[in-house]
Amino acid sequence: MKRLNIVIAASEVVPFAKTGGLADVAGALPKALRALGHDVRVVMPRYYIVDREKYGLKPLEEPLGVPMGRMGELWAGIYEGVLPGTDVPVYFIDHEGFFGRKGLYDDEGFSYSDNDNRFIFFSKAVMQLCKMLDFRPDILHANDWHTAAIPLLLNTRYARDGFFHGAASVLTIHNLQHQGHFYEGVVDVMEVPWEEFNPLSLESFGGVNLLKGGVTHADMVTTVSPTYAREIQTAEFGWGLEGHIRGHSHKLVGIINGIDYDEWRPANDPFIAAPFGAEDTRGKAKCKKALLQHFGLPQRDDVPVIGFVGRLAEQKGIGLIAHVIGGLMHLDLQVVLLGTGEKWAEHFFGDVAAKYPEKFACHIGYSNAVAHQIEAGSDFFLMPSLFEPCGLNQIYSLSYGTLPIVRATGGLDDTIENYDPVSGAGTGFKFHHATGDALYHTVKWAVDTWYEKPEQIAAMRTRAMEQQFGWEDSARDYEKIYYYALGKRRK
């Protein structure tokens, strides 16, 4: 098979800048594709928080001109680095006005009012950068609404540019809730023909919908689990775009995310109190002790600890948790929670911790180290998402023998096998209805099983740790999609 030139464009990439799982994927998939022999280049914005010294980023001499329609030509600087531990180049688009800010997308929850221009600028810069580097891509791989303009630009603004001749585009949807809705004037900034501004392509509700335009124009569309690929074609999960997605379902594929076992394996994790693995789980007890100590909860080996790590957003089922927390606090368990997000939730969980100091503790904030410690030290991991395109934390949990309690949706349904009390099979506990009742009874089910069938819990734990969700298989699936997209293009 031909070795491919691949450009992966993403608004966040681990370890440089991250707000969620997109960054984990954009940092890990390129490594796995590189291991398959492809020439992969990653492009992201140079936000203020990107640490140029720590990662040894070097500025390129030449500035990059980015045509922005009626805004005129704007100029970007380019920094170059590599994904740590690899030879995969990463290019950072530097523009003080657009990216020299504290947040990635918002300031304390308020979206930047020029996110349209910021990410159209970024998407166009990706195209211009290919030309400046003389890197002729076979594949332009865009991710979520931030870069969804790329497939559209390839087919319109750059359609007659011989440089991109034969290049194909792939768009991955990591979360359909966010689509990039803007006013129609951005058509002129993108410099795409006004014919595109129609409900079959780019328009929705009288404005521009970047993700919709991306779905229209991408040669292939992927999403991050097979179940989510089906769900987004329904009104419950489609956020209004289900009809459009159904119309393009012939080019839609679900590929489950992998996880980076270099980062998330308890046998080799610098953030946790003691190493452990499927063969020898003794270290996990030490991690549990350290976790309870860190959170100031009483040390009670005989009681299960339930962990939660994630954005405090409705998506993650925090409303359901809030609804039943009083009931849960009557069970014999302890809960540790790490997250930031919606203000009501930050206050609410702070109050719960004050009311039940023996049972509930939380860390409102963002901490990679604490995330690792919760994965390692908890017995169960709670992820009752209303929707979950893939979800990474439940897969990290499997790796640490921390049994997930999840709602059966999206990637949660695809990665977790439900406990079977008769045979003892399974890797976690699942419920279907997005109700507080279902959540409460499933947590109770897990906790009762912990007390009544410890040998089954121990066997599940080992089984969980033996699951493999490495990137190799998923990278092979992306590779197939790339060849397929190219084939379509070059027919």
388 binds ligand GLC (CB under 6 A): yes
Cβ within 8 Å of residue 157, ≥6 positions away: 124, 127, 190, 191, 192
Minimum separation from the CB atom of position 214 to ligand ADP (A): 19
- To the nearest 10°, report the CA torsion of 261, 262, 267, 271: -110
For ligand GLC, the binding residue among 25, 303, 312, 485 (CB under 6 A) is 25
x/- letters, 314..343, toward ligand ADP (CB under 6 A) = ------------------------xxx---
148 binds ligand GLC (CB under 6 A): no
CA distance 306 to 404: 9
Minimum separation from the CB atom of position 392 to ligand ADP (A): 4
- To the nearest 10°, report the CA torsion of 19, 20, 26, 28: 120
x/- letters, 266..305, toward ligand ADP (CB under 6 A) = ----------------------------------------
For residue 259 the two structure tokens come to: 């996880």
- Residue 131 CB-half CA count within 13 A: 15
Polymer length in residues for the chain: 491
For ligand GLC, the binding residue among 130, 255, 390, 465 (CB under 6 A) is 390
For ligand GLC, the binding residue among 6, 9, 10, 21 (CB under 6 A) is 21
For ligand GLC, the binding residue among 38, 118, 157, 174 (CB under 6 A) is 174
- Contact stretch for ligand GLC (CB under 6 A) within 15-23, 115-123, 181-189, 264-272: 15-23
Number of residue whose CB is nearest ligand ADP: 21
For ligand GLC, the binding residue among 4, 14, 22, 168 (CB under 6 A) is 22
Minimum separation from the CB atom of position 81 to ligand GLC (A): 22
391 binds ligand GLC (CB under 6 A): yes
CA distance 98 to 254: 33
Minimum separation from the CB atom of position 385 to ligand GLC (A): 8
3-class DSSP assignment, residue 49: coil
CA distance 181 to 240: 12
Task: For residue 483, give the H/E element and its range.
Answer: helix 471-490
Nearest to 6 by CA among 482, 419, 409: 482
- The backbone region for 34, taken as left when phi is positive above 0, alpha when psi lies in -120 to 50, beta otherwise, is alpha
Q: At what angle do helices 436-452 and 454-466 cross, to 10 degrees?
A: 110
428 binds ligand ADP (CB under 6 A): no
224 binds ligand GLC (CB under 6 A): yes
485 binds ligand GLC (CB under 6 A): no
For ligand GLC, the binding residue among 27, 389, 426, 428 (CB under 6 A) is 389
For ligand GLC, the binding residue among 125, 150, 352, 392 (CB under 6 A) is 392
Minimum separation from the CB atom of position 105 to ligand ADP (A): 13
For ligand GLC, the binding residue among 147, 175, 201, 340 (CB under 6 A) is 175
Cα dist from 219 to 228, 345, 485, whole Å: 19, 40, 5
Query: Binding partner of residue 366 among ligand ADP, ligand GLC, none, CB under 5 to 8 Å per kind?
Result: ligand ADP
3-class DSSP assignment, residue 243: helix
The total of other beta-carbon atoms located within 10 Å of residue 113's CB is: 8
For ligand ADP, the binding residue among 86, 204, 367, 418 (CB under 6 A) is 367
Q: Which of 174-189 are b and which e, b meaning 16 or more Cβ less than 10 Å from the residue's Cβ?
A: bbbebbbbbeeebbeb
| Sequence letter at residue 206 | G
- Contact stretch for ligand GLC (CB under 6 A) within 97-105, 117-125, 373-381, 382-390: 382-390
User: What is the contact surface with ligand GLC in residues (CB under 6 A)?
Assistant: 20-22, 25, 174-175, 224, 257, 388-392, 411
User: What is the contact surface with ligand ADP in residues (CB under 6 A)?
Assistant: 20-22, 24, 309-311, 338-340, 366-368, 371, 390-393
